[in-house]
Amino acid sequence: MQAAPILEFPNMDRARFSELIRGHHRGLLAYAIALAKSEPAARDLVQDACVAAWKSLERFDPSRDFGSWMRGILRNKWREHCRRHSREVPMDEETLSRMEAVFHESPDDSDLFGRLAECRGKLPPPMAVALRATYDEGRTSEEAAELLSTTAAALRKRLERARAALRDCLSGNS
């Protein structure tokens, strides 16, 4: 059995594909985490999406936005994941469309993540520490609360306020 040709059009070779994936990886991972609610599952979804994209490069229209195309593949991989793990509750199409709009508005992932880092730097220390313990270090709210010598409810409220502050900062309201 002969392998199908990998390159169907001249502008997309392995190096260009790798460059595009590297440029979009953080955004794809953030999108996948928002979908899957689990970083390990999100990393698997992104990897599966990259493999699927590589295998179907002949269907990529170079006039389309690469990030949108990849998020579409990622969304389909997430739907497959949900079918395999039927106990997980999938998002409805309206929510998926809103998420796509948010990610599409900022095609330059490095800019988005740079602004996010800048906004995180402006947070008061209690909020910053709560975010770091929960999101960066992957602790449960109970574990993070114990580490920070507070209750889980107080930690969740602190995280809620931190997310609101980040949302305001990213939208330019502060």
All domains of the chain in start order, with CATH: 1-106 (1.10.1740), 108-174 (1.10.10.10)
pLDDT the model gives residue 43: 92
Provide long-range contacts, Cβ within 8 A and 24+ apart, for 101-110.
103/27, 103/30, 103/31, 103/67, 103/71, 104/65, 104/67, 104/68, 104/71, 106/27, 107/65, 107/67, 109/23, 109/24, 109/25, 109/26, 109/27, 109/67, 110/23, 110/26
Please tell me the pTM assigned to this model.
0.49
What does DSSP assign to residue 91?
A: P
Q: List the single range of 15-24, 26-35, 36-45, 109-118 with lowest mean pLDDT.
A: 109-118
pLDDT in tens, 126-141: 999 998 888 878 788 8
Helix axes 109-121, 152-170, angle to 10 degrees: 120
